[in-house]
Amino acid sequence: MSIVVPVFNEEGNTAHLADEIATAMGGLSHEMIFIDDASTDDTLASLHEAQHRHPTLRVVQHQQNAGQSRAIRTGVLAAKGKIIGILDGDGQNDPADLPVLLKVFQSTTPAPGMVAGRRTSRQDSLAKRMASKFGNGVRRALLRDGVRDTGCGLKVLGRHTYLNLPYFDHQHRFMAALVVREGLSVTTHPVSHRARQSGQSKYTNLGRLMVSIRDLLGMMWLRSRSRSPGTVTEATKTDTNNHQ
């Protein structure tokens, strides 16, 4: 399993988060890929220090800040595992939930396209929770992805599935809808949520609203331009002869 963690100016969170991921994964085969999205603080130095403790930790750096979605994509492209786990780099996602989501992903029949976390007892401000609730309601009504909490950074999916999704900036907010667009299912599972211990959020309610309106319109267009082929099978030579 490859665990992808995008970070930007998170020097106070990264090393501890790497420690937590290593503890949570225990004996499970994994690699950690932290993507430093051109941080201007000591995030990179903190990650290099953590590498001395964790041989499974890989650090990939962006020369220019490109945003969370691009950082996730960079991490997935660099990943060696067939299964991808994603979590935010601010420490609010609990890495202990990763093995749980992985188990759900591997044991569910039929296999889901993605297992997404659903935050319980959110440790955010009231304004942020209300904005998220409103945004999720609008998105769910327009895109019909069936997911109540797309803002949760914890996700598990196949690397092949992710790379088949159309990429665009802010894609990470619409991954559930994009997976459903491919004819796959999305399973949600409750996960814990923690208060930020260090640093500051990179998003504001107004900023999210402004880009979300444009992105929602784009996602509605993408949904309208999708056509399902139904079940795809490979025709055998015998099948071909039967039609002659």
- Write down all domains in the chain, each with its CATH number in brackets: 2-227 (3.90.550.10)
pLDDT bracket for residue 237 (50, 70, 90): confident
More confident of the two residues 198 and 139: 198
* C-alpha–C-alpha distance, residues 187 and 102, integer Å: 12
pLDDT bracket for residue 139 (50, 70, 90): low
State pLDDT tens for residues 106-136. Answer: 998 888 999 999 888 765 555 565 555 656 5
* C-alpha–C-alpha distance, residues 3 and 21, integer Å: 9
Q: What is the model's pLDDT at position 239?
A: 61
Supply the DSSP symbol for 182. T
pLDDT bracket for residue 11 (50, 70, 90): very high
Share of the chain above pLDDT 90, in %: 56
pLDDT higher than 70, residue 7: yes
More confident of the two residues 191 and 227: 191
For residue 5, list its beta bridge partners.
34
Q: What is the model's pLDDT at position 205?
A: 45
Identify whether the C-beta of residue 173 lies closer than 8 Å to the C-beta of residue 153. no
pTM of structure: 0.81
Residue 85 token pair:
């786990």
Half-sphere exposure of 132 (CA within 13 A, CB side): 19
Identify whether the C-beta of residue 93 lies closer than 8 Å to the C-beta of residue 193. yes
State pLDDT tens for residues 33-78. Answer: 999 999 999 999 999 999 999 999 999 999 999 999 999 999 999 9
Q: What is the model's pLDDT at position 134?
A: 54
CA 75 to chain centre: 11
Q: What is the model's pLDDT at position 44?
A: 97
Q: What is the model's pLDDT at position 166?
A: 93
pLDDT bracket for residue 157 (50, 70, 90): very high
State pLDDT tens for residues 169-206. Answer: 989 988 998 999 899 999 999 998 887 777 666 555 44
Secondary structure class of 190 (helix, strand, coil):
strand
